[in-house]
Amino acid sequence: MDTGIERMNVLVNEIVGFVIGPAQGMEIGEVERGLLKLVMRVGREALVSYLEEKGTGRQGSEIVTAGGERLPYVRDRKCLYRSIFGPIEIKRAYYHATGSPGVFPLDSSVNLPERGYSYLLQEISSKLAVNGSYEKACEVVGDIFPVNLPIRSLEQIVRDLREEVSLYYDQKPTPESSGQAVITVATIDRKGVVIRKPPGEELIAKAAPSDPDRPGKKKMSTVASAYNIKRHRRTADQVVREIKEEEPLRDKPKPEAKQVWGSVTESVEQVMLRLKEAVSKRLKATQELVCILDGERGLWRLVHKYFPTAFFVLDIFHVLEHLAEAAHCFHEEKTPEAHKFVTERLKMLLTGQVGRLIGGLKQIVSKRKLSKSQKYRLNKVIGYLERNKKHMRYDKCLEKGYPIGSGVIEGACRNLINDRLELTGMRWILQGAESVIRLRAVFINKDWADFWRFRRKSERIRLYGFSSEANNDFYTNELPQAA
């Protein structure tokens, strides 16, 4: 019987023969495609050889467990291991005694994954799944690797990781930032996700008459972010020119040690508690805390409760939207007159004249002849500004070098929620959406490789009661050096 090494040598010679033979009459792209198939076959044989060297894990006629139980050998059992090189049948010695769970010593020796899909296959496929549809992810995996990954299996792989993400961040040290990043920023926002009911409830809902005024399809998710940033002092005129895109601010600092996370199943207060924990870990004695939000009252109540000593800032771009609403009561959108109306009032905001701005709008309402619609729209804007007046100290922000826009959380909502959960035709069950949000946060935070090292280690501890530090060192050090 041929050994694994002999079988690999045959395949390697086949590759050499292909390169110096048929490949010479082919385009390089087709040669590459042919080589990939051959390399996959070599990889599979190498993996089979590895398992042959390991054997079945049989350790005699019986084994003694850590608890002192004696388990006799019963027989060899087979399982299917789905690797990136294709499915491989593994034969494992099985030990079992009545009243005790069975044991496969080989499983712990090689750290066999619980679901039979290799960790590498899980890592690659889930990375595709958090950046595109499950269907496309499975299609890409099947195009590259000789393995069939059903959509439902990939969905389950992602769901398995949901709680693992929380455990990972519970033990992860706070990211380091430069000594000049003396401002810690906490920001939070909400975003709707289209949720479908479980299959049984959905059939009942379809049979019931629809109510166009209450579609009941969206559930609000909560997205939070914490980061550090350098102080950046600027003038009101500089900010106006930047917002009007006439002149970008020079040396504008970028967020450092940024972390983003979100949830559609946890309450807003639970996410706020996570934000508080993240802030408390990074807030040193020399740090200044700034909270930036839009005008949602519920969020403001919570940030005042959990961050009572922070400097609170209403996102300037949300204020601009309301100023634009006031301008459009009198001027057409995107006209010079509308721009002038907004710019004049923006300068008032940036120079600490919030009261004067509100007073001016009130005078327009009381002294001009306005339609009911105009009065309604202006009063709505005035109410928004009055409610948030204490959070609009933009002159102090510019003086202290604080950020005044919530671009980070807006980008987080877009990256974390919109770019994946709002793809065409997407409708989620609650737990499925939660799984993707949590795992996508790992990707956005650039923690992917570190998370998967944690995942392999934690599952090994859970399944087999110990971890292999040597194996982790190999993945961290030797393998990258060899590559």
Placement of tokens 């795992």 in the chain: 439
Region at 60 (left for phi over 0; alpha for psi -120 to 50; beta for the rest): left
Question: pTM of the prediction?
Answer: 0.86
For residue 443, how many other CB atoms are within 10 A of its CB?
17
For residue 46, what are its two tokens? 């190498």
Q: What is the pLDDT of residue 482?
A: 37
For residue 260, what are its two tokens? 């983003």
Q: What is the C-alpha separation between 420 and 137, in angstroms, rounded?
A: 13
Residue 160 corresponds to which amino acid?
D
pLDDT along the chain (483 residues), means of 10: 78 94 96 95 94 94 90 96 97 94 94 95 97 95 96 96 93 88 94 75 42 58 94 92 76 90 94 93 86 90 95 94 93 91 95 95 91 92 94 96 88 86 82 94 96 96 77 46 38
Q: What is the pLDDT of residue 345?
A: 94
Residue 95 near residue 131, CB atoms below 8 Å: no
- Say how many CA atoms lie within 13 Å of 140 toward its Cβ: 15
For residue 369, how many other CB atoms are within 10 A of its CB?
5
Q: What is the pLDDT of residue 30?
A: 96
Q: What is the pLDDT of residue 358?
A: 95
Give CA angle at 435 (431, 440), nearest 5°: 150
Q: What is the pLDDT of residue 87?
A: 96
